[in-house]
């Protein structure tokens, strides 16, 4: 590895850590913002947005100082505990930063310092944030799904990704309409809601990045993975009656896999 490539890798890793820190902010605050908008309470003491309230310990509510917010390093220096109350800091925070950093490194390594690298890094980072939010809260915020959809259409129109804009548009349309139709039929037959509109919007966003045809193996792979995980959780008593496994993380994982390996690899693996 040359000195230049090593410097470039370190730059990608560092920038990815910073982005990962912001992803943690989104994961923590966006669900609160959504629920706040759905059920506004005039008596609520805290009004959430991306910048307010200032970052603070969720246990003792003491505002954090600048050096407490340095990605990864702060967690290491604080030994995984709040500097004020010594309450443990969740390992999810440094894990998200590390994973995001590695995603940015992988995209930089594959495409170099190009709009394509930035586009796919944004794609991967958005899917990571959406997966964690959906798994924790069963929410897929429009602020992320709609941004991901429009980013795919823009990236396609600017030739930053190798997908004609016509296919990106059709991918978005087919992605939304197909899941909406499945959910509509399921609800009419069972009188129960099968999935939320967030899943439709996420598949539409994936279609804008991958096109319409890859959505067939994508949904199949996501459904298989979701069913396996759901049965495993139910067997272990971790999935209570009336609860369901969020579909978003499996859509995101399948979409990311197809973005890396291509739909042909999935079709061959499935034996179609």
What is the full per-residue pLDDT of the chain (272 aa) written as tens digits? 455 588 889 999 999 999 999 999 999 999 988 888 777 665 555 677 888 888 888 889 888 888 888 999 999 999 999 989 999 999 999 999 999 999 999 999 999 989 999 999 999 999 999 999 999 999 999 999 999 999 999 999 999 999 999 999 999 999 999 989 988 887 778 776 667 789 999 999 999 999 999 999 999 999 999 999 988 988 888 775 567 789 999 999 999 999 998 766 656 665 65
Q: Taking the CB of residue 204, how many other CB atoms lie within 10 A of it? A: 25
Question: Encoding tokens for residue 262?
Answer: 């291509």
**Can you point out the beta strands (E) in 190-240?**
none
Closest CA to 62 of 27, 97, 89: 89
**pLDDT for res 45:** 58
**pLDDT for res 36:** 84
**pLDDT for res 109:** 92
In angstroms, the CA 215 to CA 225 distance is 15
- The answer to whether residues 28 and 92 touch, using CB atoms and an 8 Å cutoff, is no
Q: Can you give the residue ranges of every domain in the chain? A: 1-113, 115-272
The DSSP secondary structure of 104-163, one letter per residue, reads HHHHHHHH-SSHHHHHHHHHHHHHHHHHHHHHHHS---HHHHHHHHHHHHHHHHTTSSSS
In angstroms, the CA 83 to CA 66 distance is 12
**pLDDT for res 200:** 94
pTM, entire model: 0.91
In angstroms, the CA 53 to CA 230 distance is 36
DSSP state of 245: -
């Amino acid at each position: 590895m040359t000195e230049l490539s090593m410097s470039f890798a370190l730059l990608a890793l560092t920038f990815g850590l910073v982005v990962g820190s912001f992803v943690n902010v989104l994961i923590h605050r966006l669900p609160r913002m959504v629920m706040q908008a759905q059920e506004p309470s005039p008596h609520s003491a805290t009004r959430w947005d991306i910048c307010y309230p200032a970052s603070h310990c969720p246990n003792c509510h003491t505002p954090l100082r600048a050096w407490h917010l340095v990605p990864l390093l702060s967690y290491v220096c604080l030994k995984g505990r709040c500097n004020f109350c010594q309450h443990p800091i969740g390992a999810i925070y440094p894990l998200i930063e590390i994973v995001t950093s590695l995603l940015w490194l992988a995209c930089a390594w594959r495409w170099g310092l190009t709009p394509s690298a930035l586009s796919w890094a944004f794609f991967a980072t958005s899917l990571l944030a959406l997966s964690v939010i959906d798994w924790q809260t069963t929410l897929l915020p429009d602020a992320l799904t709609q941004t991901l959809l429009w980013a795919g259409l823009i990236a396609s129109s600017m030739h930053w990704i190798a997908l004609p804009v016509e296919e990106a548009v059709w991918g978005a349309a087919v992605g939304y309409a197909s899941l909406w139709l499945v959910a509509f039929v399921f609800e009419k037959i069972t009188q129960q809601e099968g999935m939320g509109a967030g899943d439709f919007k996420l598949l539409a966003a994936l279609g804008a990045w991958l096109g319409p045809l890859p959505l067939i193996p994508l949904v199949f792979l996501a459904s298989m993975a979701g069913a396996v995980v759901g049965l495993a959780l139910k067997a272990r008593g971790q999935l209570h009656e009336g609860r369901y496994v969020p579909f978003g993380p499996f859509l995101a994982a399948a979409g990311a896999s197809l973005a890396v390996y291509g739909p042909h690899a999935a079709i061959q693996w499935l034996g179609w």
